[in-house]
A and B are shown apart, each in its own frame.
Chain A
């Protein structure tokens, strides 16, 4: 009953959790691209577009591997118990799996938002043969700040002024062990604390390209024309749980020219002598 496709979904066991992964395969791969997705709230809006990019890569002879971080999406684990180190470790484990599964095909670490930040840390620690970043988060705490803002805006909608907390009060509650809820996730002090030490290395902060030794990297900034791949406050407000009707923004924009630009860069760097 279950047909065998080039798109293979499976669970991989990582540190007592099961990570959900999909491999978008191809016949003669030039590279394997590990897609390190955004934080869970950004994933809600961007997943379909992210998967379209994975299919685009597979159609152009690049294996694409997407996965959900432990405690999020289809992967097992409780979000409230997670830290940024856990998610960084997920990228390291997925890189190791990709290398074992697909042999010596060059590995490109590719991240968006929070995934970009963590992919850069993995790259700098020696993983991957190349790095592709799409608007990486500069600080891990940015992810938490966005969640806190969503919490405060929901309080504004739902609670009387005397019942609302300030941002400082929420942080104080976190420190005393009380997670705050935002977008359906429980954000814990463990997660908050783990964010403190994780920042994008200065060389990667601005859109540009470079190399670490003979391992190239590129940072593309996602503009508003690339919503929902780009995180858009307007889209978040329109798709807010209190707003039933939705957005007047396009649902499935054509990103082929942006995809092609990225593919061209990948093919260019892959055409150079293999760094492995």
Chain B
């Protein structure tokens, strides 16, 4: 059964949906918005998952963060600024207030916090501010590990303003293309290009063992804090695109530092949204198994 909920947090009207089953337990699941999407998520995935969890006795809640979907509130001016806000934990306090409000109003013992991408970040930051007894665990899908770079922002800003910077980049691009055409016409080109690509791959492999400079270390610190509190985390990830160079294995890093509190599931072919054919069913089934194990091993639902 679904119930429309309207509540006030920090002076703003926030809209949400409560899913409950025939025999609701006392452990809830709270979803956070993915990026700037409404609380239903792409393909209404969050609705589907919340219905499934509620049927199994976990009252589930989806609220639009301030400014998103149906909720009141202001948003940063650009997507990049919004991503930086989420990456830096800008919605963490809201997440804390919402969690506590729901725990009290619905007389729940604790809450599992859940989200995809930006929603996963908000879940991590909120959990790190809540008391351990308030959070039963986290279900995170495609947790992002990187910061938004200034370079991306500057490029976006200058390209939209047709500035000297964007003209310079266009000129540089034309020069690169001319040099590339000149090299390709040389007889030694194939051998040199092969050596060039092998060198690049070797460098990427070396770099892949080092945590990159744009790692979101604050977020990793928050996760480490949760592991130290024995917080169970279920982490789904999409496969790393083969077309991209090797990267630092953050999943392995988390596994090594989790003291056994991390369960990681890499999904088969899927994108960042987890709505490709068969994936919603797989996420639903895996998450329910994990929820059931947590209920059996610790505080019960």
Contact = CB atoms under 8 A, between A and B. Distances in A.
Interface of A: 1-3, 5, 7-11, 18, 20, 22, 40, 43-44, 47-48, 51, 55, 72-74, 76, 79, 154, 157-158, 181, 183-185, 239-252
Contact of A184 (B45, B82, B152): B45
B272 A242 contact: yes
Interface stretch (B62-70, B201-209, B259-267): B62-70
Interface of B: 2-8, 13, 15, 17, 35-38, 40-45, 47, 67-70, 72, 74-83, 101, 105, 117, 144, 148, 152, 156, 159-160, 241, 269, 271-273, 275-277, 280
A40 B44 contact: yes
A244 B144 contact: yes
Nearest to B142: A244
18 contacts: A9-B15, A18-B2, A20-B4, A20-B17, A43-B38, A48-B69, A74-B47, A181-B275, A184-B273, A185-B44, A241-B271, A241-B273, A244-B117, A244-B272, A245-B83, A248-B80, A251-B79, A252-B67
Nearest to A248: B156
Contacts of A251: 36, 75-79, 81-82
A228 to B, nearest CB: 9
Contact of A47 (B70, B74, B148, B273): B70
Contacts of B44: 40, 72-73, 79, 184-185
Contacts of A247: 79
A246 B269 contact: no
A7 to B, nearest CB: 5
Contacts of A1: 7, 101, 105
A20 B47 CA distance: 12
B45 A74 contact: no
A249 B79 contact: yes
A73 B36 contact: no
A244 B4 CA distance: 31
Contact of A248 (B36, B78, B144): B78
Contact of A246 (B5, B35, B40): B35
Contacts of B17: 20, 74
B44 to A, nearest CB: 6
Contacts of A40: 44
A256 B241 CA distance: 41
B43 A184 contact: yes
Contact of A48 (B42, B68, B76): B68
Given A181-B277, A252-B75, A9 B70 contact: yes
Best-surrounded residue of B3, B78, B101 (most CB of chain A within 10 A): B78
B6 A9 contact: yes
Contacts of B75: 48, 251-252
Closest 7 CB pairs of A and B: A184-B43, A184-B275, A248-B156, A241-B273, A241-B271, A9-B4, A252-B75
Contacts of A20: 2, 4, 17
Contact of B160 (A79, A154, A248): A248
A16 B79 CA distance: 39
